Amino acid sequence: MKLKHFVLPDKVETEADSASDSYAKLTISPFEKGWGHTIGNALRRALLSSVQGAAITQVQIDNVMHEFTTIPDVLEDGPEIIMNLKRIRMRLWSETPKVCYLHAKGKGSYTAKDLELPPEITVANPDEHILTVTDAKRSVNIELRVDNGRGYTTAERIKKGQTAPLGTIFLDAFFSPVKKVVYQVESTRVLDRADFERVVLEIWTDGTVKPDEAFIQTVTVIKNHMAALIPAEKEPEFVAEERFDKDRERLREMLARDIDELEISNRASNCLKKGRSKRTHERISINTIGDLVQHTEKEMLDIENFGRKSLEELKKVLEGLGLTFGMDVAGLIVSKD
């Protein structure tokens, strides 16, 4: 037996004005009622736990046998240096672990930008402090191993099964590059139905992985988990939804109609077809219903001689047709060219 059609999300939009290497605001739509929270919560949990990142997992310091050792002529003690190293955020462009080094020679403060890195490693916060040498004749050499991983892994688990030189300090590693995720569910309209939902997802990362990359990783992980639960020979089919296509075609025809077919006053009709912008004085030519619904209420009130009373009149007419101002109908309007 075939299952009834299910409306699936068909677009992911990124807010371009606020997007950066460490922040993105995504809008995903449409979802059938109730599915906004189901998908939003799954994405949030997976983003925080399952995006791959890099971290320092092993440290070797000259003449230091364990992390609680005090290093002569170094301001920071062992635990403080270890904490500083844990705060360095790296990207490892390799499937195998890589090693980097700090050669601190002479008096001064040393940060992540002083690390000698292989080409496979980049650092997102090069100004992160590591240690301070207080004697001009003193040198401190540190070897760091960087691994890829997910989530949080204890030093005991990293150490298990590994053979390492004497004096190797294993670190608890927080691999996840995702720092914070917030989502909210909003109502949205699809064609003439207003009972659909959209998910607005905000993602903050440490800069080693861009938010859109983290999102794609997460969706892929969720997809692979779900696909593994479906026996290939038992995967059900869905019936093609004819009604959805018919509603789309009906709306397309409605948007193509002349605004003269709307029950509005001649004064309002003339303002729309022959009006000008109050701000720019450019001609505003609204001839079809499709032209009309693409304008926001604020844009309508910018038309000369078009007031609040005419706006309320039009809003009631559009509501009767299942339409509103500010609709995104670009994909439903047939070009006249």
CA–CA separation, 88 and 104 (whole Å): 17
Query: Length of the chain in residues, anyone?
Result: 337
- Residue 62 shares a structural domain with residue 145: yes
Burial annotation 70-90 (CB, 10 A radius, 16+ → b, else e):
ebeebebebeebbebbbebbb
- Residue 207 shares a structural domain with residue 273: no
Which pLDDT score is estimated for 3? 75
Which pLDDT score is estimated for 337? 47
- Residue 128 shares a structural domain with residue 167: yes
Total domains present in the chain: 3
- Residue 141 shares a structural domain with residue 67: yes
Which pLDDT score is estimated for 241? 59
- Residue 166 shares a structural domain with residue 128: yes
CATH no. for residue 37? 3.30.1360.10
Which residue segment(s) compose the domain that 18 sits in?
Answer: 11-51+178-234
- Is 312 contained in some domain? yes
Bridge partners (DSSP) of residue 216 are none
- Is 202 contained in some domain? yes
> What residue ranges of the chain have pLDDT lower than 50?
243, 337
Q: Which tokens in the block code for residue 18? A: 């606020």
Could you report the per-residue pLDDT of 203-255, keeping only the tens digit for each?
A: 999 999 999 999 999 999 999 999 888 887 777 777 665 545 566 677 778 88
Which pLDDT score is estimated for 128? 96
- Is 292 contained in some domain? yes
- Is 4 contained in some domain? no
Cα dihedral 103, 106, 108, 114, rounded to 10, equals -20
- Is 293 contained in some domain? yes
- Residue 59 shares a structural domain with residue 143: yes
- Is 337 contained in some domain? no
Instruction: Give the three-class secondary structure for 142.
Output: strand
Phi-psi region of 44 (alpha: psi -120 to 50; beta: other; left: phi over 0): alpha
Which pLDDT score is estimated for 216? 96
Helix, strand, coil percent content, the chain, rounded in steps of 5? 30, 30, 40
- Residue 159 shares a structural domain with residue 68: yes
pTM over 0.95: no
Bridge partners (DSSP) of residue 161 are none
- Is 134 contained in some domain? yes
